[in-house]
Structure 1
Amino acid sequence: MVPHVSVVNVANMLTGLRIVLVPVFLVALFVGDGHETFWRVVAFIVFTAAVITDRLDGEIARSYGMVTEFGKLADPIADKALIGAALIGLSMLGDLPWWVTVVILAREVAVTVLRLAVIRRGVIPASRGGKLKTLVQAVAIGLFVLPLSGAWLAAAWVLMIAAVVLTVLTGLDYLLSAVRGARAV
C-alpha cells in the first residue's frame, strides 16, 4: 500500500510561493514607467527567487517522498505563469520583441496540449533538452529584466536566441516522442 502524502508539504508550499511571486514580480517590473533601475533589480530578485523555488520544489518532492497529484498539476502551471508573465511584461515594455514571446509561449501551449492528448498512453517525461531549455530561458529572461546595456545586453541577446532555438528544437522533440509513442500502440 502506498502511503498517503499530505498535499500540505514543503514542496507544494514552494510551488504556491512561486504562484504568489508572479504578481509581485509584475508589480515590481511595471513600477513607474517600467524602466526604473531600482525596481527592475527588485523584479530580477523576485524572478530569481521564483526560479529557485522551481528547482527546489521538484527536488524536495522527489527526495523526500512528497510528490502529490496537486504538485504535478500546480508546478507546470506555476512555471508557465512565471515565464509567460515575464515574457509578456518585457514585450509590453518594449524590451523584448513580441516574436520571441510568441514563439516561446506557442511552444509551451503546444507541448501542454500534446501532453494532454497523449496522457492515456503515459506521460512524456521532461527531456534533458527540455530542462536545458528551461534553464537557458530563465537566465535569458532574468538578464532582460535587469537594466543592462552594452556587452551585457549583447550577452543577454545571445542567451535569448539560444533559448528560442532550444525552445523550438525541444518542442519538435516532444512532437516526435508523441508520434513514436502513438506508433508503438
Structure 2
Amino acid sequence: MNPAATGDDAAAEPVHPVLPEPTVVPVLNVANVLTLSRLVLVPVFLLALFAGDGHDTTWRLIATGVFGIASITDHIDGKLARKLGLITDFGKIADPIADKALTGAALIGLSVLGDLPWWVTLVIAAREIGVTLLRFWVIRHGVIPASPGGKLKTLTQIFAITLFLLPLPAGWLPVAWTVMALAVALTVVTGVDYVVRAVRLRARGKRAIGQ
C-alpha cells in the first residue's frame, strides 16, 4: 500500500473553484428605454418643427427644446449603461440608430424649410446610412462600438443643428456655419475610419472561422 494514499490524503479530491454564473443583462433596461425614448421623440420634434409656417419663433424654440431633450438622453443612456453594467448588443446597435434618426430628421427638416442646403444633409445622411449598413454587414463577427471621434462627431452635429434650429439673429449665421463645417468634416473622417475598422473586423472574423 502506498503510504501517500492513506488517511486524509486518500480521501482528498481535486478542488475546482466554483465560478459565478455569467450575469445576463436584460434587453429591457433603463439605458435601452432611454434610447428608445429618443426614437419616440423624433416625430414629436418634427411636428413642432413644421408647426405653423416652420419659422414661427415659439414653435422653433419648442422644436429646439425637444431636440435638446432627445439629445441629452444619448449622454444619459450611455453613462447609465456603463455605470450600472447594462451594456447590451441591442444597445450598441440601437443607440447609434437612434442618434442617426434624430439628427437625420433635423437635417432633412431644416433642408425642407430652406434653412440648410441639401448637400450638407445628403453628405451626412450618406455617411450615417453607410455606417448603419456596415454595422449589419459585420454583426456576425462582432459589434463595433462608437469611437471617441464618432462621439465628437455626434456632439458637433448636435451643436451645429441646434444653432440652425434656434431663431437667432443673422449675425450668428457665420458661427453656425463654422460649427456645421466642422461637423461635416468630422462626419466624413470618422466614416472612413469606421469603414477601415469594419473591414478589419470582418477579416479577423473570417480567419477565426477558417473561411
User: TM > 0.5 between the two?
Assistant: yes
| Partner SS, residue 119 of structure 1 | coil
Per the TM alignment, residue 32 of structure 1 is displaced from its structure 2 partner at its CA by 0.5
Higher helix share: 1
Letter of the aligned partner of 2:176 in structure 1? A
Confirm or deny that 1:113 pairs with 2:130: no
CA separation in 1, counterparts of 2:107 and 2:185? 16
| Closer/same/farther in 2, CA of residues 181 and 20 from structure 1, 3 Å limit | closer
User: Does 1:3 pair with 2:8?
Assistant: no
Aligned to 2:106: 86
Fraction of identical pairs, as percent: 64
Structure with bigger gyration radius: 2
Whether 1:177 aligns to 2:197 is yes
User: Within the alignment, does 1:99 sit opposite 2:119 as a pair?
Assistant: yes
Which residue does the alignment assign to 2:144? 124
Any conservation in 1 of the 2:92–2:145 contact (CA below 8 Å)? Answer: no
- Aligned residues, how many? 185
Unaligned runs of 5+ in 2: 1-20
- Which has the larger displacement, 19-28 or 66-75? 66-75
> What is aligned with 1:44?
64
Looking at structure 1, the residues matched to 41 and 47 of structure 2 have their Cα atoms a distance apart, in angstroms, of 10
State the distance in 2 between where 1:70 and 1:128 align: 20
Whole-Å Cα distance in 1 between the matches of residues 40 and 200 of structure 2? 38
Amino acid at match of 1:15: T
State the TM-score, normalized to the length of structure 1: 0.92
Stretch of structure 1 that moved more, 84-93 or 118-127: 118-127
Asked whether the 8 Å contact 2:89–2:143 carries over to 1, the reply is no
Cα distance in structure 2, aligned partners of 1:132 and 1:123: 19
Q: CA deviation at 1:59?
A: 1.0
Please report the RMSD computed on the Cα atoms of aligned residues, expressed in angstroms.
1.7
How far apart in 2 are the matches of 1:47 and 1:162?
20
